Amino acid sequence: MTVDKGIAPDQDRTARVYAALPEEHHYTIEQVDGALPKDLTGTLYRIGPGRHQVGKSLLHNIFDGDGMVSQFVLDGSSVRYRNRYVRTRHFEHGQRSDRIRYRGVGTQIPGGMLANVGRLPANVANTNIVNYDGGLLALWEMGNPHRIDPDSLETLGRFDFDGKLGFLGAFSAHPKWDPATGDMYNFGLDLLPTPRIRTYRVDRSGRLHTLATVPMLDLVWNHDFALTRRYLVFVLDPLLPDLTKIALASHSFIDSLRFDRRKGTRFLLVPKAGGRPRIIEHEALLHFHLTNAYDDGNDVVVELVRFDTRWSEVRRATNSVNSISADGPRFPDSRLMRYRITAGGTVIEQELADRSVEFPQYDWRLSTRRHRFSYLAGKGTRAAAVYDSIIKVDNETCATTLCEFPGGSVGEPLFVPRSRDAGEDDGWLLVLNHVLAEHRSQLVVLDARDVGRGPVATAWLEHHIPWGFHGTFSRRIARLEE
Ligand SMILES: [Fe+2]
């Protein structure tokens, strides 16, 4: 197969969303349509798999690409762009060799079971990037974070919170912050010696404290959680590993999971202050991401994006990278949902929007409290295989507002408040849009209050950014170090 910047010539344009960006760039963006808001200053960081390759060997699962950080520096009148790969062992090896030497989440080492048995997936640092202690952490949910310099994006090494996390310690990719204290909360899944969820609090000085460690009755895979004033809220779907496949390494990690609808989903509420966790049984759900959660009297309310399809289809969607199929990727149907868990253990379900969405965001100053507006990537009014719209949902009225990008592929919209004391929804949404026909990406600024109006400003990159996962915004303007 001929590969030109990762695009096979017989593939649909949609497949370009996963095309590699092997080069590392640093430049001031020249083409800006519209007017950049003068008070939108700071630095946007985004991360995702930048290339699904080891040398010239192609990888096929979206979770296995090398983590690449993009940095957009906004000073009120211009945008400077830089991208840099996280220097993981997997990345460094792929610079020297075409041989797949490390196992991935969806990738096996060639050579059958013997080549894979006893090997854990390699840490590719590709899932989220968050502010920590004046710098950045690139996160990957099955292992340690990597420290990243916020100015140069240089990789400063693996980080285990001064030994408290442990060498193999998992620090998941979706930490949450308590606005009342500034503490960061997170969890890690330990599979050995016995399966358990370990929960953490990282105080404002950066020290990591282990909270509860909750044994799991069944091994499950879990990606995200949410925070209320009282609880860490987990929604544990019945994604169970086939223990024979895991033990023999006969299949990749993701191909070793099965969705057992009979087992149902468990809401697990872990008290922040200690004490016994609550477990509430519910019918089987399938999801990756939560929006927010809050206490409402004695009830707990949590919002999430539920996939309305079979696990096999979700898994297939993750395995569509570098596919020779002309179909390209096809993101599954989903819905933004609310679950109210009463003190008596009843779960009340409500659909908040009738569109397929993912990457739910909101005003993070409202973490642990009721938020009114959610912002998501999703499918608009056209038949699209990937997300081509930013969708705002009013959680009180269930009204939706769309900003559509026909022929585009958008990712997670991050909300940035206009000022520190601006109200909810008074700010901007920062979105990456990949214009597939031109194979270039844009940084798009939307007014969150008027999403339907379209972009306030659009900064055109000279190239595309491969479809990525998550990001963060810092009010600090990254320095030019040269
Ligand atoms: Fe995620």
User: pLDDT tens digits, residue range 413-442?
Assistant: 999 999 999 999 999 999 999 999 999 999
**Three-class secondary structure assignment of 151-202:** CCCCEEEECCCCCCCCCCCCCCCCCEECCCCCCEEEEEEECCCCCEEEEEEE
Interval between CA 289 and ligand 1 midpoint (Å): 6
Contact 141, 223 (CB under 8 A): yes
Pairing of strands 287-296, 299-307: antiparallel
- C-alpha triplet 94, 97, 100: angle, nearest 5°: 70
Does residue 9 surpass a pLDDT of 60? no
Interval between CA 269 and ligand 1 midpoint (Å): 20
* Predicted pLDDT at 317: 84
Interval between CA 305 and ligand 1 midpoint (Å): 11
Interval between CA 148 and ligand 1 midpoint (Å): 19
Interval between CA 224 and ligand 1 midpoint (Å): 7
Q: Give pLDDT tens digits for 52-105.
A: 999 999 998 999 999 999 999 999 999 999 999 999 999 999 999 999 999 999
Interval between CA 1 and ligand 1 midpoint (Å): 31
Interval between CA 346 and ligand 1 midpoint (Å): 28
| Structure-token match 């990278």, residue found | 321
Nearest to 214 by CA among 197, 193, 231, 195: 197
* Domains by residue range for the chain, with CATH: 9-474 (2.120.10.30)
Interval between CA 130 and ligand 1 midpoint (Å): 13
Q: Confidence band (pLDDT; 50, 70, 90) for 125?
A: very high
* Predicted pLDDT at 146: 98
* Predicted pLDDT at 326: 47
* Cα maximum dimension of the chain: 60
Does residue 11 surpass a pLDDT of 60? no
Interval between CA 288 and ligand 1 midpoint (Å): 7
Interval between CA 156 and ligand 1 midpoint (Å): 23
- C-alpha triplet 162, 165, 169: angle, nearest 5°: 140
Does residue 5 surpass a pLDDT of 80? no
Interval between CA 468 and ligand 1 midpoint (Å): 10
Interval between CA 291 and ligand 1 midpoint (Å): 11
Interval between CA 382 and ligand 1 midpoint (Å): 25
Does residue 4 surpass a pLDDT of 90? no
Q: Which helix (H) or strand (E) holds 313?
A: helix 311-318
193: cis peptide before it, omega within 30°?
yes
Nearest to 376 by CA among 334, 411, 407, 405: 411
Interval between CA 115 and ligand 1 midpoint (Å): 29
Interval between CA 171 and ligand 1 midpoint (Å): 13
* Predicted pLDDT at 2: 32
* Predicted pLDDT at 332: 87
Does residue 8 surpass a pLDDT of 50? no
Interval between CA 406 and ligand 1 midpoint (Å): 25
* Predicted pLDDT at 13: 83
Does residue 217 surpass a pLDDT of 80? no
Q: Find all residues with CB under 8 Å of 49, minimum gap 6, and list them.
A: 18, 62, 63, 64, 65, 66, 67, 68, 124, 126, 466, 468
**How large a percentage of the chain has pLDDT more than 70?**
96
Report d(CA 346, CA 339) in Å as an integer. Answer: 10
Q: Give pLDDT tens digits for 271-303.
A: 999 999 999 999 999 999 999 999 999 999 999
Average pLDDT over residues 373-377: 98
Question: C-alpha distances in angstroms, 266 versus 196, 282, 343?
Answer: 14, 6, 15
Q: Is the dihedral of CA 440, 445, 446, 448 positive or negative?
A: positive
Does residue 348 surpass a pLDDT of 90? yes
Interval between CA 140 and ligand 1 midpoint (Å): 10
Interval between CA 322 and ligand 1 midpoint (Å): 21
Interval between CA 290 and ligand 1 midpoint (Å): 9
Pairing of strands 414-417, 265-271: unpaired
Q: Give pLDDT tens digits for 355-371.
A: 999 999 999 999 999 99
Interval between CA 35 and ligand 1 midpoint (Å): 31
Report d(CA 153, CA 297) in Å as an integer. Answer: 44
Contact 94, 39 (CB under 8 A): no
* Among the ranges given (138-147, 307-316, 467-476), the one the predictor scored with the smallest mean pLDDT: 307-316
How does the average pLDDT of the chain come out, rounded? 93
Question: C-alpha distances in angstroms, 427 versus 237, 342, 377?
Answer: 34, 33, 17
Interval between CA 136 and ligand 1 midpoint (Å): 17
Does residue 7 surpass a pLDDT of 60? no
Q: Give pLDDT tens digits for 150-191.
A: 999 999 999 999 999 987 789 999 999 999 999 999 999 987
Average pLDDT over residues 236-245: 90
* Predicted pLDDT at 272: 94
Q: Give pLDDT tens digits for 259-273.
A: 999 999 999 999 999
Interval between CA 287 and ligand 1 midpoint (Å): 10
| Structure-token match 């009738």, residue found | 354
Interval between CA 282 and ligand 1 midpoint (Å): 23
Does residue 481 surpass a pLDDT of 90? no
Nearest to 398 by CA among 457, 338, 441, 453: 338
Does residue 347 surpass a pLDDT of 90? yes
Interval between CA 469 and ligand 1 midpoint (Å): 6
- Single-letter residue type at 110: P
What phi and psi, each to the nearest 5 degrees, are found at residue 369?
Answer: -125, 165
The helix/strand/coil state of 62 is helix
Interval between CA 470 and ligand 1 midpoint (Å): 7
Does residue 6 surpass a pLDDT of 50? no
Interval between CA 67 and ligand 1 midpoint (Å): 13
Interval between CA 141 and ligand 1 midpoint (Å): 9
Interval between CA 111 and ligand 1 midpoint (Å): 31
